[in-house]
Structure 1
Amino acid sequence: MAAASLIFISGGVRSGKSSFAEKIALELAKENGGQLNYLATGVPSDQEMRERIEKHQRDREAGIFQWRTLEQSQNIREIAHFFNCEDIILLDCVTTLLNNELFSANQKWDESFFTNVMETITTGIIEIRDRAKVLIVVSNEVFHESMAENDLVFSYGRILGKLHQQLVKTADQAFLVEAGIPINMKEN
């Protein structure tokens, strides 16, 4: 079976990237059919996050198309078997997934740990993509802020940057969303 399509979408906080990703998923479902799936990586750790999760859930429920929501905050590879070649999957988001993977284990943050985390995330994404019709991956652009002042933040930014590079290299399409406007960065 040929690899399915991967679409990578990044943007700053509140840039409109998730709404743009949902719009693409809905357009694909209208054109080609298939089950819409929302792979949520967020954990309702505080009131703001609970409200954001609830808003996303209400938005999906209010639409014409029915979304199946799967919540997996870590090791997304574990749920790859839930998907098939008719599925359109929106994974929201890589930055939250990376946070969850990095902070779930009481590990020393060294190159070996970073390599394992990156492999866990990329392997999960590729396995899900290979089972689906289309996988849309959303991530935050955090590289406009200074990261040099804190080693932890610098390490996080470095690993996220490497993940973004791998995902864009693998992606069929890549978009950057700024102020609600998608900019096409790559198209095969």
Structure 2
Amino acid sequence: MIFITGGVRSGKSTFAEQMAAQRAKELGGRLHYLATGAPSDEEMSKRIMRHQQKRSESEFMWRTWEQPRHIERLASSFSKKDVVLLDCVTTLLNNELFFLNQEWEEEFLREVFERLLDGIGVLQANCAELVLVSNEVLNEPLGTNELVLKYSFMLGNLHQELVKRADRAYLVESGIPILVKGGRG
């Protein structure tokens, strides 16, 4: 598993796509794009359409899966030679947290956290390489809003656990990938 994070417009998705395509070529497997965005408003719908258009015009042959929740349901669609790029963990977390419109009590947050880790684990077990993209949103002041604080702590813990499980982890700054864990670049 490869974990890639960075700020908004940092170049993390472009880097992740290139890395996934390179790994698929090396392994002789298919290339899958697991998109977690859900068209929640007009702006998000346009963003999803831009991403879909970009992938269709790409030099890489992507098989795209639109799966805003329950990513584990796709695991049987992949083989042990395939490379799966999941973009992005932050959006997936948002979707899981807000879908049920439930109070963010400790038990609910723990269930969401475990469900995400389990889903990612199932994907990882069913493909050759899983590339995860996430947003680095914890570098800014968090303020005092309880919801923002809970979300931030959960995302931070999720990132820590995913990096622990990853073979390699990158932070992308201004289009430059910085290897923060792992032996080869």
Q: TM-score, normalised by structure 2?
A: 0.95
Counterpart position of 1:93:
88
What displacement does 1:45 show?
1.8
Find the aligned partners of 1:84 and 1:32 in 2 and give their Cα distance.
Answer: 11
Partner AA of 2:67 in structure 1: Q
Q: Secondary structure at the match of 2:65?
A: strand
Runs of at least 4 residues off by over 4 Å:
none
1:102 pairs, out of 79, 97, 106, with 97
Alignment-derived partner of residue 28 in structure 2 = 33
What secondary structure is seen at the aligned counterpart in 2 of 1:18? helix
TM-superposed deviation, 1:89: 0.3
1:166-186 alpha-carbon deviations (Å, 9 max, x no partner): 000000000001111111000
Q: Is the 8 A contact 2:88 2:135 kept in 1?
A: yes
Which of residues 103, 114, 119 in structure 1 aligns to 2:114? Answer: 119
Say if 2:83 and 2:129, in contact at 8 Å, map to a contact too: yes
Structure 2 match to 1:137? 132
Q: Which residue of 2 aligns with 1:22?
A: 17
**Aligned twin of 1:64:** 59
One-letter code aligned to 2:7: G
**2:144 counterpart (145, 149, 166):** 149
Deviation at 1:48, TM superposition (A): 2.5
In structure 2, what is the Cα distance between the partners aligned to 1:10 and 1:177? 6
Q: Secondary structure at the match of 1:34?
A: coil
User: Deviation digits for residues 60-91 of structure 1, max 9, x if unmatched?
Assistant: 21223311111111121122111110110000
Q: Residue in 2 aligned with 1:186?
A: 181
Is 1:77 equivalent to 2:72 in the alignment? yes
How many equivalent residue pairs?
Answer: 183
Task: Output the CA distance in 2 between the equivalents of 1:43 and 1:126.
Answer: 22
- Output the amino acid matched with 1:26: A
Query: Which residues in structure 2 correspond to 1:164-183 (within 5 Å)?
Result: 164-183=159-178
Whichever residue aligns with residue 106 of structure 2, its letter is E
1:160 — aligned with what?
155
Q: C-alpha separation between the residues in 2 aligned to 1:152 and 1:115?
A: 15
Q: Supply the distance in 2 between the matched residues of 1:161 and 1:64 (Cα, whole angstroms).
A: 34
TM-score by length of 1: 0.93
- Give the fraction of aligned pairs with identical amino acids, expressed as a percent: 54
Structure 2 residue runs without a partner (length 5+): none
Look up the equivalent residue of 2:175 and give its one-letter code.
G
Moved more, 37-46 or 89-98: 37-46
Give the CA RMSD over aligned residues.
1.1
Give me the whole-angstrom Cα distance separating, in 2, the residues matched to 1:56 and 1:33.
25
Q: Which residue of 2 aligns with 1:3?
A: none
Instruction: State the SS of the aligned residue for 1:149.
Output: coil
